[in-house]
Structure 1
Amino acid sequence: EFMEALRDRTVKIDIPYITKLNEEVKIYEKDYNSHKIRGKHIAPHTLEMAAMWCVLTRLEEPKKHNLTLLQKLKLYNGKTLPGFTEDNIKELRKEANREGMEGISPRYVQDKISNALVSDKGEGCVNPFMVLNELESGLRHHSLISSEEVRKRDRELLSVVKGEYEDIVKNEVQRAISADEDAIAKLCGNYIDNIKAYTQREKVRNKYTGQYEEPDERLMRAIEEKIDIPESRKDDFRREIMNYIGALAIEGKTFNYRTNERLHKALELKLFEDQKDSIKLKNLVSSVVDKDTQEKIDIVKDRMIKSYGYCEICSTDVLNFVASIFARGDAKD
């Protein structure tokens, strides 16, 4: 036998694939970055979504805890979820002792990213959908997929990843639209004035009429509902904010909404709700956009380019994509 002596001294050891998203992303970032790829921009989240799908194919469905596979991936990647501790994560890994031994290899993903890069579809920019479509089309002829059942599961996981990407870009567009610091500060000031009056059982002076009015319950609830503060807990939340402001005042400090993550998020969501119609995001899918709307859209695009790493092409594509979601009425309030 050929090389019998060598084979007699060789032991096969199976090494599992990576099951942590951030580590998988690093594999692709090493080869597909702005230093190595010239002439084409890789849109934000493109490598991340490819890596996410790849890792998902390697994970076993959670047996307990009422978890989705995507949530399991996020836990493995260090994200905290309510009710889950480090011990729970260790238990998840323990119950799936062959996890990572099967699934899609990085080589397959690298081949498909390369295909997307040399494609003439991107007009100078490769986006996640181009890569995900390449990944899906290649499944038909993937020699290492053992059964049609596995092939079907891998396709379904592509849909999971597309749904996650949709949520990510909706959030980014939302943040870009509501990134007007002055507008957030003004909204915050209005909210604080109202909850102060509410908690102290006072009235609020209308700056326009000069009249004293009851606190604006509608405004307060519109903000609080954005972070799921129920009616039964609104008083506690308002007192919590006022106590925090009071504690800062004792220390000679001024309240800044950025220091309260929940309130900051609520203000952003409320501002987005108020501004999305003025920007006429739904009308982006129309070929006719008035000058005022176009100026606002350009400001949002500029924020996406500066803050999130988009280029002129993919920022336009993402805005159109998110606009189409709003046009369908699928966007989350």
Structure 2
Amino acid sequence: ISPRYIQDKISNSLVGEQPCINPFMVMNELEAGLSHHSLISREEDRKRYKDLLAMVREEYEDIVKNEVQRAIAADEEAISRLCGNYIDNVKAYTQKEKVRNPYTGQDEEPDERLMRSIEEKINIPESRKDDFRREIMNYIGALAVEGKTFDYRMNERLHKALELKLFEDQKDSIKLTSLVSTVVDKDTQEKIEVVKSRLIRDFGYDEISATDVLNYVASIFARGDTKSQES
């Protein structure tokens, strides 16, 4: 497979009425060209290249799912609130204290379900939860000594866990699966437009490609494949 072959297949993808191309169009051209490639005569070689393309498709699918997840969870205020809630509970847990419920005014036990629902997003096992929570509190304490305030962006793993948790909480309200339907209510459409604008702003999509990738990821959710990037 030469650079010229790749270049030719990208050129083929550009032929047509569509205003832009996407990776799937290029991959389809690359695979179609294998059938009559003059330098690929053995079937096992052709199969190997097709298997490699299948791996690329799978990796790209993971990338776009992750980008849509992050676009849905890109509500910084919501992440900050979730982080604050998590830290309050972790602090109470590590110091063997109770948490004041802001709604009832009652002191309650730390919310173990909330803490684990976040920690599990980054594969923190039950046996390691205490270590992880102490690490977080020690880091916050060290920052305080230096006169600094903790921000969830300072801890990449916690940031990722919060995003995944927020995505899980919000994806049903956004109803991505409704994109594959012909009827989308106004409220859902407004939320979808917000996600689309984040894809354009944060990930370099344009209007058409953002719509395409949302429709594609929506089809994944519609068939029940919601594997998230938690590894």
Q: TM-score, normalised by structure 2?
A: 0.97
1:273 matches 2:168: yes
Higher relative CO (Cα under 8 Å, sequence separation at least 6) belongs to: 2
Question: How do residues 65-144 of structure 1 correspond to structure 2 at under 5 angstroms?
Answer: 104-120=1-17, 123-144=18-39
CA distance in structure 2 between the partners assigned to 1:142 and 1:297 by the alignment: 42
Aligned counterpart in structure 2 of residue 301 of structure 1, from 196, 201, 206: 196
Q: Equivalent residue for 1:61?
A: none
Question: How do residues 172-321 of structure 1 correspond to structure 2 at under 5 angstroms?
Answer: 172-321=67-216
Q: Equivalent residue for 1:330?
A: 225
Q: Equivalent residue for 2:47?
A: 152
Secondary structure in 1 matching 2:37: coil
Secondary structure in 2 matching 1:201: coil
Deviation, structure 1 residue 269: 0.4
Residues 148-170 of structure 1, C-alpha deviations (whole Å, 9 max, x = no match): 11011111211111000000000
Residues 60-83 of structure 1, C-alpha deviations (whole Å, 9 max, x = no match): xxxxxxxxxxxxxxxxxxxxxxxx
Structure 1 stretch displaced more, 106-115 or 140-149:
140-149
Residues 209-247 of structure 1, C-alpha deviations (whole Å, 9 max, x = no match): 111111000000000000000000000000100000000
CA distance in structure 2 between the partners assigned to 1:212 and 1:280 by the alignment: 36
Letter in 2 for 1:105: S
Q: Equivalent residue for 2:63?
A: 168
Q: Equivalent residue for 1:89?
A: none
Residues 103-127 of structure 1, C-alpha deviations (whole Å, 9 max, x = no match): x11100100000101223xx20100
CA distance in structure 2 between the partners assigned to 1:130 and 1:272 by the alignment: 29
Letter in 2 for 1:228: N
Secondary structure in 1 matching 2:36: coil
Deviation, structure 1 residue 306: 1.1
* Structure possessing the higher radius of gyration over alpha carbons: 1
Residues 122-149 of structure 1, C-alpha deviations (whole Å, 9 max, x = no match): x201001111111111111100113111
CA distance in structure 2 between the partners assigned to 1:299 and 1:128 by the alignment: 24
CA distance in structure 1 between the partners assigned to 2:128 and 2:172 by the alignment: 30
Letter in 2 for 1:287: T
Identity value in percent? 79
Structure 1 stretch displaced more, 201-210 or 151-160:
151-160
CA distance in structure 2 between the partners assigned to 1:295 and 1:289 by the alignment: 10
CA distance in structure 1 between the partners assigned to 2:84 and 2:34 by the alignment: 54
Secondary structure in 2 matching 1:224: helix
- Which stretches of structure 1, 4 residues or more, deviate above 6 A after TM superposition? none
CA RMSD of aligned residues (A): 0.8
Secondary structure in 1 matching 2:173: coil
CA distance in structure 1 between the partners assigned to 2:226 and 2:6 by the alignment: 30
Q: TM-score, normalised by structure 1?
A: 0.68
Aligned length: 228
Q: Equivalent residue for 1:98?
A: none
